Structure 1
Amino acid sequence: MGTMPDGRDKRPWLPPRWVVRLAWHVHRGLYRVTGGRVGLWRPKGNRYGTLRLTTTGRRTGAARSVILGYVQDGPRMVTLAMNGWAEGEPSWWLNLQAHPEARVELAGGSGPVTAHAAEGPERERLWAWWRQIDKNLDAYAALRSTETAVVVLEPLPGRAVP
């Protein structure tokens, strides 16, 4: 993360947790109120897109949806299990670990996917890609005591997500 000239740790700025949670609720509310016409977009250039991921709850078996940022890696979508850079794993990632099959909705289409955590050289390549989008990625990740999972959402064979 580095230090400042006076010896203090140089920590990235994050808004208070309540602001992050409010932003999530507002984004999800806009998506709902507009029937999905607002809230999802495709990645362009060096910018991420957003998708809606619906998982199966690991305890309840109920459908659970969340809107996430993602980048496109060929037909695959790649996101980070970051929990707003707070401690702990996000619920959607815990759900995917228990039930890797899910559904994604993108601007312009939807389809079934299966999820896995990228490891080794694949994780390094995808992390570097995210680092190009956000220069502070490593500093944000350092705020967490555990490694941030790079999650790959892969369309089921023969069922490409448009």
Structure 2
Amino acid sequence: MTPTACSAQLRLATLADVEALFAVRLAVTDNVLTREQLADLGITPASIAELLAAAPCAWVVEVDGEVVGFSLVDLVAGEVFALFVRPEWQAQGFGARLLAAAETALFRKHALIWLVTDGAPSVRANAFYQAQGWRQVAQLQGTDVRYEKSRSVKQHVEAT
């Protein structure tokens, strides 16, 4: 049985969620990286715990106590650093809810926010970000692309 988006809980991530974030990240089928590859990029349980302890910068969607997706931002850089939903929970609105939480936090500090993702045509994230109002602005190394989104007048008023 597939739950509806309203039966899921969106909340700030806590230190207790660190391993669940890694479980989600390692379960994805697009932009696949192993735990070792993440560690080579400096993404470890310790580094994520440090980020979570420093500021509210990550959100999870939970269904029946299980974390099924998360978003993580870099509040200083204005970047959506990560957004992942377990494959079996995709296409249920969880990604949009997680992205909205990330955008809200970033637009409190930045008029322009950004993210980098794999731009390969087969990667679902591209259509998702475009549908959420993000614009692809640059081709980066390999197949990576940069997306940007500007704060609207309404968001600016809400942020002040």
TM-score by length of 2: 0.37
TM-score by length of 1: 0.37
Greater relative contact order (CA < 8 Å, ≥ 6 in sequence): 1
More helix by share: 2
